[in-house]
Amino acid sequence: MTDMSAAHDAAVTDRTRLAGSAYNGDRDLAARQSLYRWQAPRYDLPGLVAEQLSDVCGRVVDIGCGNGKFIQRLREDRPDLDLLGLDIAPGILAGVPGPVAVADATSLPLATGSIDAALALHMLYHVPDIPQAVGELARVLAGDGVMVASTNSDRDKVELDELWQRAAGDVLGLDRGPARISLSARFSLEKAPAFLGEEFSRVEVVELPGTITVHAPEPVITHMTSYRAWADQHEVPFDATIDRARTLVVEHIARHGAYAITCLGGILICRR
């Protein structure tokens, strides 16, 4: 591992940064989620997750539940389930319908075999020891339980990576600036099956490809600005780069009529 990738991993997994800045409320997470309003096809991700639990009865835990988007949907669609939300960031739990608790994915406060389904949605890349967290997920699940994870591909939103590097290069006076931080790289759609396969004999991957198309810069800039908690990792003035990116998007839309971003995320359904 290079010094740069080690620093990247440390920043993505730093609990103080996650709880105190990145997820001390739901503003930045909601900003990243909001970009998908402009995606086609439009996926109902909470609905897709709920479908995977159609045969589940009993206790369901959402680990790294964030702002509770999935818990809220399950409370509406499946009031029969006993739901629990866990997250390391107390601030983001404030608006989540309870019960909720502060907990770490690598040391779950749950009895062995006590859970009928576990969710780990767009969060395992934030865990310092991914195999330990996967082991904990397997430990707390009942023998016939199901675990649903989600993440993004290494090829997700490459246009935003290119936009950042071009804007950063312009700010620094270079042809190409340093790469922007990737949250999902440690547990991408390509890497996830190997991690999960250590504990689960059946891992089904459901890819969710799409294209986001916007006709104004704000959805793109709001999304990019939501990474402010990692501004010190970019090796470039953050606000200046965001301002330059806005100009580049405006120019692109003026020339082409729209700005398109290719997306690839997915869910992974895991059973023993």
Q: Tens digit of pLDDT for each residue in 33-50?
A: 999 999 999 999 999 999
pLDDT the model gives residue 98: 84
Q: Cα 33–93–106 angle (5° rounding)?
A: 90
Residues 6+ apart with CB under 8 A from 211: 39, 40, 260, 261, 262, 263
Whether the predicted pLDDT of 2 surpasses 80: no
Per-residue tokens: 84: 């629990």
- Find the range with the poorest average confidence among 92-96, 112-116, 203-207: 92-96
Question: Chain-wide mean pLDDT for the chain?
Answer: 95
pLDDT above 90 (res 71) = yes
| Percent of the chain at pLDDT exceeding 70 | 98
- The predicted-structure confidence for 207-260, as pLDDT tens digits, reads as follows 999 999 999 999 999 999 999 999 988 789 999 999 999 999 999 999 999 999
- In this predicted structure, the answer to whether residue 1 has a pLDDT above a threshold of 60 is no
What's the pLDDT band for 8 if we cut at 50, 70, 90?
confident
pLDDT (0 to 100) of residue 77? 94
Determine the average pLDDT of the residues in 156-173.
97
DSSP annotation string for 189-221 = TTTHHHHHHTT-SEEEEEEEEEEEEESSSHHHH
pTM (two decimals): 0.95
Model confidence at 193: pLDDT above 60:
yes
| pLDDT exceeds 90 at position 128 | yes
pLDDT of residue 189: 98
Tokens of residue 112, six digits: 């062995």
Long-range contacts of 21-26 (CB under 8 A, 24+ apart): 21/229, 22/89, 22/229, 22/230, 23/66, 23/87, 23/88, 23/89, 23/91, 23/92, 24/89, 24/91, 24/92, 25/91, 25/92, 25/94, 26/66, 26/67, 26/92, 26/95
Contact 271, 200 (CB under 8 A): yes
What pLDDT sits at residue 3?
A: 58
Q: What's the average model confidence in pLDDT over 185-209?
A: 98
CB count within 10 Å of CB 4 equals 12
Q: At 170, list the tokens.
A: 């312009």
